[in-house]
Amino acid sequence: MKCPFCEKAETGVKDSRTTNEGSIVRRRRYCGKCGGRFTTFERIQTRELVVVKRSGAKRPFDRTKIEKSIATALRKRSFSQKQIGEINDRIILELESDNTREITTRKIGKLIMKELVKIDPVAYIRFASVYKDFTNIEDFTRFISKLQKD
């Protein structure tokens, strides 16, 4: 692993431990040249995924975008970064378990909504307002009325 500070190609591992029920390995590393210390995370990745946007454009999958969306919806709610990470991991596991390499933004949005509706109705409405592109109060009212009926 290359040092992020001095870019020396060889670094050492000071400590390793598993997290997330063994699905992630966290490694504390050090650089013998500059003395810098940093952390890396190793995750299982079954295959490279591609996201198909509404416009038809294709982009490489970026797991951090899902986590940022979840964190934004849950901002100022009583959820820790660890809980947000666990939700993110569940969504990504479902995406990677699918038989297709290409995933639509619509499918990703539905999976995020499926998780949020189970844990926090306010976060669910926040995310839905962006995902479903609410443009006025009536959009919110219809959505909340439907949510209350269900």
pLDDT, tens digit (0-9, with 9 covering 90-100), for 58-81:
999 999 999 999 999 999 999 998
* Counted domains in the chain: 2
Q: Same domain for 5 and 38?
A: yes
Counting DSSP H helices and E strands in the chain, the numbers are 5, 6
Q: Same domain for 39 and 103?
A: no
122: phi > 0 → left, psi -120 to 50 → alpha, else beta; which?
alpha
Q: Same domain for 99 and 145?
A: yes
Q: Same domain for 23 and 57?
A: no
Q: Can you give the residue range of the structural domain that contains 133?
A: 46-149
User: Residue 118: pLDDT above 80?
Assistant: yes
User: Residue 19: pLDDT above 90?
Assistant: no
Q: Same domain for 61 and 4?
A: no
Q: Same domain for 52 and 107?
A: yes
Q: Same domain for 126 and 63?
A: yes
pTM of the entire predicted model:
0.69
Question: Averaged over 108-121, what is the pLDDT?
Answer: 95
**Bridge partners of residue 18, in order along the sequence:** 25
